[in-house]
């Protein structure tokens, strides 16, 4: 079965899940081609895995009608020439252009993954309504919608984006085929990670992983550290993005010690450097980094957005606060730092509750069912 996977940028959590899914599929049953506008080191990983990768430069994130029309034409030509059996789209721009192009050229099956949504509560009402209306129209030509996390699936149902019987819930993939491959939060792993980041061994480290972008609210992370007011705490943000220069200036202006580690390929290996993992995002799907932190045994404080509550159960597996409230995030982080026994209990419970729900095997099975037209609810 010939599958084309389209994603705007092969990077970040969405790119990681996309690549892990493509690699997990049985190559004897599925032949996967990845089409993307750009990417980072994940492009190299895809090539190393033997996956065909096609770069379409016109596929870009900003809304740009002339350029978007060029991308639509290019994707249509590619999909028609290659006669794919399945078109699987990810992220907003590729989700729009890829599904429309696939429909126009008659690709037999169209699958879309909602890692999150292009609409959120921090937009104007008019823009949010326009995005929802567009997603509803696209939902009519979508055979299966894979929603990353229960919260995302519930929102898709509630907003009537896709017919309920065509909606499936999936998780992120954080382990290898034979079991977890993330390092334990051991003293040795902690020391190695701190040396890699240049963080003092004796410091208390509050860390975050994500793009330096509006969605992730890195400015709230900086504000949270300032409000925390702890001289023994070092904040670490792992990830790059369009707000890198702005956040760097903001961090330098604060008395709190903040390390902007930039984009790194070794995120699983450096997570053990953290004493607390903080997720300040305005909106999310189900963040891979949160699950990876839990696998490593790191207590989590996160914003109560979308599917985060799938894994962060308040008081049981972590703490939740409202988005855009760095003051409450500071209180939650302080609680976890000052009550190590309670924090450790939450971390242990979180690791145990993850079970095998977030492995590549589960993702592989979900993708195969979506492509072949089987699974919960029968053929779609």
Judge whether 378 lies within some domain.
Answer: no
Neighbouring residues of 340: CB distance < 8 A, sequence distance ≥ 6: none
pLDDT tops 50 at residue 141:
yes
Per residue in 264-286, pLDDT (tens digit) is 989 989 999 999 999 999 999 89
Same domain, yes or no: 245 and 156: no
Read off φ and ψ for residue 5, nearest 5 degrees: -105, 120
Structure tokens at 146: 């894979």
Query: Do 196 and 169 reside in the same domain of the chain?
Result: no
Does one domain contain both 206 and 82? Answer: no
Residue 182 pLDDT grade (very low, low, confident, very high; cuts 50, 70, 90): low
Residue 182 has which token pair? 């993330």
* Whether residues 166 and 78 fall in one domain: yes
Average pLDDT across the chain, whole number = 93
Query: E strands of 159-299, at which residues?
Result: 167-170, 204-209, 233-238, 257-262, 276-279
pLDDT of res. 311: 95
Q: Is 377 within the bounds of a domain? A: no
CA pair distance 83, 40, nearest whole angstrom: 28
Domain assignment present for residue 90? The answer is yes
Query: Band of the pLDDT at 186, cuts 50, 70, 90?
Result: confident
In a domain, 157, yes or no: yes
The per-residue pLDDT for range 71-100, each reduced to its tens digit, is 999 999 999 999 999 999 999 999 999 999
Number of structural domains found in the chain: 2
Answer yes or no: do 208 and 316 share one domain.
Answer: yes
Tokens 């309504």: give the residue.
129
Residues 42 and 24 occupy one common structural domain: yes
Q: Do 221 and 105 belong to one domain?
A: no
Q: Are residues 215 and 103 in the same domain?
A: no
Q: Does some domain include residue 152?
A: yes
Compute CA 81 distance to the chain's CA centroid, rounded to the nearest angstrom: 31
116/210 same-domain check: no
CA–CA separation, 306 vs 310, rounded Å? 9
Domain that holds residue 52: 2-173+359-372
Q: Are residues 217 and 113 in the same domain?
A: no
**How would residue 355 be classed by pLDDT, with cut points 50, 70 and 90?**
confident
In 58-206, which ranges are continuous DSSP H helix?
A: 65-82, 92-105, 125-139, 150-158, 187-197
C-alpha distances in Å from residue 142, one per residue of 103, 139, 232:
9, 5, 51
Task: Express each pLDDT in 294-343 by its tens digit.
Answer: 999 999 999 999 899 999 999 999 999 999 999 999 999 999 999 999 99
Tell me, yes or no, if the pTM score tops 0.85.
yes
- According to the model, what pLDDT value does residue 179 have? 41
| Structural domain includes residue 182 | no
- CATH number of domain containing 263: 3.40.50.2000
Strands 204-209 and 109-114: unpaired
The DSSP line for 244-267 is HHHHHHHHHTSSSEEEEEES-S-H
Answer whether 206's CB lies under 8 Å from 274's CB: yes
> With bands split at pLDDT 50, 70 and 90, how would you rate the model's confidence at 102?
very high
Give the model's pLDDT for residue 177: 34
Q: Does 164 reside within a domain?
A: yes
């Amino acid at each position: 079965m010939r599958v084309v996977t389209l994603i705007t940028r092969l990077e970040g959590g969405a790119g990681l899940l996309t690549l892990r899914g493509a690699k997990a599929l049985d190559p004897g049953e599925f032949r996967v081609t990845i089409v993307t506008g750009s990417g980072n080191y994940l492009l190299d990983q895809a090539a190393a895995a033997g996956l065909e990768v096609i770069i379409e430069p016109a596929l870009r994130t900003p809304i740009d009608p002339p350029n978007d029309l060029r991308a639509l034409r290019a994707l249509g030509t590619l999909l028609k020439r290659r006669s794919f059996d399945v078109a699987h789209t990810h992220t907003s721009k590729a989700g729009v252009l890829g599904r429309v192009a696939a429909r126009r050229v008659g690709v037999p099956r169209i699958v879309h993954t909602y890692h999150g949504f292009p609409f959120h509560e921090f937009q104007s009402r008019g823009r949010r309504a326009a995005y929802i209306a567009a997603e509803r129209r696209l939902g009519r030509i979508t055979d299966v919608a894979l929603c990353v996390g229960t919260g995302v699936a519930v929102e898709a149902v509630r907003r009537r984006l896709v017919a309920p019987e065509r909606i499936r819930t999936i998780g992120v993939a954080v382990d290898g085929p034979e079991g977890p491959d993330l390092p334990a939060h051991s003293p040795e792993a902690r020391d190695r990670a701190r040396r890699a980041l240049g963080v003092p061994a004796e410091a208390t480290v509050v860390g975050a992983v994500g793009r330096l972008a509006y969605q992730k609210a890195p400015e709230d992370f900086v504000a949270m550290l300032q409000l925390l007011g702890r001289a023994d705490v070092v904040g670490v943000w792992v990830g790059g993005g369009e707000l890198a220069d702005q956040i760097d200036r903001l961090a330098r202006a604060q008395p709190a010690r903040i390390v902007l580690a930039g984009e790194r390929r070794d995120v699983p290996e450096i997570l053990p450097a953290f004493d607390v993992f903080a997720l300040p995002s305005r909106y999310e799907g189900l963040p891979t980094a949160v699950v990876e932190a839990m696998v490593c045994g790191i207590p989590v404080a996160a914003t109560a957005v979308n599917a985060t509550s799938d894994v962060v159960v308040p008081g049981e597996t972590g703490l939740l606060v409202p988005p855009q409230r760095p003051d409450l995030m500071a209180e939650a982080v302080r609680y976890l730092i000052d009550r190590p026994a309670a924090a450790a209990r939450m971390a242990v419970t979180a690791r145990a509750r993850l079970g095998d729900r977030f492995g590549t095997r589960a993702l592989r099975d979900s993708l195969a069912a979506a492509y072949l037209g089987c699974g919960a609810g029968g053929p779609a």
